[in-house]
Structure 1
Amino acid sequence: MASTDQHYEQLLAPIYEWMAGGAEAALTAGAADLEGLLHSPGLCLDLGAGFGMHAIPLAQAGFEVIAIDSSAQLLARLQELAGSLPIQSVCADLLDFPEHLPAGRKPSLIVCMGDTLTHLDSLEAVDRLASLAAEHLAPGGRFLATFRDYSQPLQGDRRFIPVRSDQSRILTCFLEEQGDRICVHDILHERQGDQWTMQVNHYLQLRLAPETVRQIFVDKGFMTQIEAVPRGMLRLISDRH
C-alpha cells in the first residue's frame, strides 16, 4: 500500500488541478471557501497547500502566505499560478511548520483545507497539530480547516464516488472501511489514442469524528465550532483567545 505522499506523487499530483475543475474554477472555489472567515491580513500558513487553491486567494486578499506541502510537483504549479504574489512555497511535512516560520513572527491565520487533516497518520498527530497551532498562532489568531466526516462510512454502492470525467480521463474513488481508517482506492482511466489504460492505487485516511476533532481543539484553549459546508465537507473554525 502506498503512503499518502507516494499516492499523490504516483497518481494524484499530475491530475490534481484537473480533478478540481481546472485552475480558474479551483481558485474561485477556494476564494468562496474563505469568504467571510478572514480577519485583517497578516502572516498566514497554508498547510497542505497543493497547487494554491487557497494560498493564492489568501495572497490576493493581502496575506503574506507560507504554503507548505509534501508534493514538490504541486508546489511548482502553485508558484507558476502565483506569479509575483507574496507566497513562499515550502516542501515539508505540515507538522514541521514551526521550523519555517520567520524569526520572531507568529501567523494570524493557519489554514488546513481540503481533506488534509485525514491525511495525518493518527489521532495523536491531529492532537499534535492542534498543540502546535495553539503555541504558534498570534493572540486572536484563527485555525481554519475542512475535512470529511468518516464517522459513518458510506455503505453499498454509495462507496463508489465518481470524481470527474471527460472524453479522455475518468477518475473514480472507492471507499473501504478498515477500523479507524478508510482505505481510499483511486481508479484512473485515461485514453491513449484509441485505447484506454487503467491505473489503480490506494492509501489510508483517518476516520475523524467531528466532535472528537472539535474537542481536541477545545482542550488546547481554542473557541471552536464545526459546520457543514459544500462539497461534502465539514469546516472547523478555531479561534485563539
Structure 2
Amino acid sequence: MSTVEQHYANHLAPIYLWMTGGAESALQAGRDDLAALDLTLAPGCTVADLGAGFGMHAIPLAERGYRVTAVDRSELLLDSLEVLRGDLAIETVHADLLEFRSYLPDPVAAIFCMGDTLTHLPDFAALDTLIARVAAALLPGGAFVATFRDYTTELVGDRRFIPVRADADRILTCFLEYRPDTVLVHDILHERELGVWRTRVSHYPKLRLSGAVLADVCAANGLAAGLDSSPRGMVSLVARRR
C-alpha cells in the first residue's frame, strides 16, 4: 500500500488537473464551493489553504483579494499552481499539512482545508493535532473551513466502483475497500500509449471521518462549528474561534 504522498507523486498528481476536468472547470468549481459558504472576511486579510494542490480554492480566494499561503505536499501540483496563479497574491509552501504553522508568522483570518484533504491524514490522532494547531493559528473570531467526503457509511457490491473521468485516451475508476477506521481507495487508471492500452493501479488509505466527529474535535479546541453540505456532495464545516 502506498502512502498518500507516494500515491500522489507516482499516480495521481500527473493527471490531477485532467481528473478534475481541466483548470478552468476546476477553478469554477472552487469558486462555486466558496460562494456556497456563509462566510465574510475582511478585505485584504491573510488566509491559509491546506492541501492547496494546483490552486482550486487558493486561486479563487486570491481573486477575492485575500493574501493566500498555499500548503501542499506535492511539488508537481504546486508547480501547476505557480503557473495558474499569474500575479495573484499566493505564496506556495511545499510542506506536510501538520507543519503549516511554521509558515504562518502571525495568526490569520481563516484557514481552509477543502476537497477531501482532511481524510488524507494518517489517523485520528493527526486530526486532533491539526485542529489544535488550526485553532492556535486563527485570529479571535477567525474561521476554519473544511469540506470532505464522509466514508462512514459503507457502499456495497458494485457501488464500490466509482467512475471518476473518462475520455478517448484515459479512464480513471476508484474502488473502495473498507476497514474499521479507514477506507482503501484503489485508483485504477487505463491509459492509451502509442495505440496500446496500459493499466496502472495504486491504493492508499483515507480516514472514515464524519461531520459529527470533526465538529466535536473543533469544539474541544475552542472552535464553534456548523455543518452543511457542499455543492459537490461533500460535508461542509465552518468553525469560528471563540
> By the TM > 0.5 criterion, same fold?
yes
User: Could you say which residue in structure 2 is the equivalent of 1:118?
Assistant: 119
Could you tell me which amino acid in structure 2 is paired with residue 65 of structure 1?
A: V
State the match for 2:72 in structure 1. 69
Distance 1:205 1:195 in 2: 32
Equivalent position of 1:201 in the other structure? 202
**Which residue in the other structure is 1:190 paired with?**
191
CA distance in 1, matches of 2:169, 2:146: 33
* TM alignment of 1:84-233, pairs within 5 A: 84-102=87-105, 105-233=106-234
> How many residues align structurally?
239
Q: How does 1:43-62 map to 2 (within 5 A)?
A: 43-62=46-65
Inter-CA distance 230–154: structure 2 relative to 1 (3 Å threshold):
farther
SS in 1 for 2:119: helix
Q: Classify the secondary structure of the residue corresponding to 2:206.
A: strand
Which sections of structure 1, spanning at least 5 residues, go unmatched? none
1:153-206 deviations in Å (ceiling 9; x for gaps): 211111000000011100000000012110000000011132100000000111
- Paired with 1:38 and 1:87, the residues of 2 have a C-alpha distance of 19
Q: What is the alpha-carbon distance in structure 2 between the residues aligned to residue 117 and residue 237 of structure 1?
A: 14
- Cα separation, 2, equivalents of 1:229 and 1:149: 12
Pairwise CA distance, 1:208: 0.6
Deviation, structure 1 residue 133: 1.2
The runs of 4+ residues in structure 1 deviating greater than 4 Å are none
More off after superposition, 16-25 vs 34-43: 34-43
Alpha-carbon displacement from aligned partner over 1:102-151 (angstroms, at most 9, x marks no partner): 3xx21101000111100001111111111111111011100000111111
Alpha-carbon distance in 1 for matches of 2:140, 2:222: 12
Q: Percent identity?
A: 52
Q: By how many angstroms is 1:44 displaced?
A: 0.6
| Aligned-partner Cα distance in 2 for 1:188–1:231 | 22
Corresponding letter in the other structure for 2:46: L
| Partner Cα separation in structure 2 for residue 38 and residue 27 of structure 1 | 20
Partner of 1:31: 31
Q: Does residue 10 of structure 2 align to residue 10 of structure 1?
A: yes
Counterpart of 1:20?
20
Normalising by structure 2, we get a TM-score of 0.96
**TM-score for the superposition, normalised by structure 1:** 0.97
CA distance in 1, matches of 2:109, 2:211: 24
Task: Please tell me the residue identity of whatever aligns with 1:73.
Answer: L
In structure 1, C-alpha distance between the alignment counterparts of 2:175 and 2:231, rounded to whole Å: 20
Q: Which moved more, 1:150-159 or 1:29-38?
A: 29-38
Give 3-state SS (helix, strand or coil) of 1:174's partner: strand
Letter of the aligned partner of 2:12 in structure 1?
L
2:93 is paired with a residue whose SS is strand
> What one-letter code is carried by the residue in structure 2 that aligns with 1:61?
R
Write the distance in 2 (CA, Å) between the matches of 1:186 and 1:179: 20
